[in-house]
């Protein structure tokens, strides 16, 4: 899995928002707000391939969370990113 090209994380009025950039994303009409942990993951994976397990590892490194919770949350975040069209 990887983040789709043309989507950038920006801070708008103090909120972390995913914004489309480029002609390939011109019809993207959703506003996607990221909380602190999802913004951290987005920045951490950059344009590299990743799995939910990779995301869970990042969560374990950054936050005081157990492995089961980290993996459950990572799978949920990855699925949501795919669902809204910002990762594939």
Over 70: is that where the pLDDT of 83 sits?
A: yes
* Helix, strand, coil shares, percent, the chain, to 5: 50, 20, 35
Model confidence over 6-51: pLDDT tens digits? 888 999 888 999 988 766 555 656 778 999 999 999 999 998 999 9
pLDDT at 52: 97
| Phi and psi torsions of 56, nearest 5° | -60, -40
Residue 85 exposed, middle or buried by CB count within 10 Å (0-12, 13-18, 19+) = middle
CA–CA separation, 29 vs 46, rounded Å?
A: 22
pLDDT at 9: 93
Structure tokens at 41: 């993951």
pLDDT at 12: 87
Taking the model in full, what pTM does it have?
0.87
């Amino acid at each position: 899995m990887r983040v789709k090209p043309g989507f950038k994380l920006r801070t708008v009025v103090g909120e972390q928002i995913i914004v489309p950039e480029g002609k390939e994303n011109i019809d993207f009409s959703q506003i996607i707000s990221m909380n602190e942990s999802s913004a951290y993951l987005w920045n951490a994976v950059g344009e590299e391939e990743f799995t939910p397990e990779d995301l869970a590892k990042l969560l374990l490194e950054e936050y005081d969370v157990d492995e089961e919770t980290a993996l459950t949350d990572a799978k949920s975040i990855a699925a949501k990113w795919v669902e809204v069209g910002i990762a594939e």
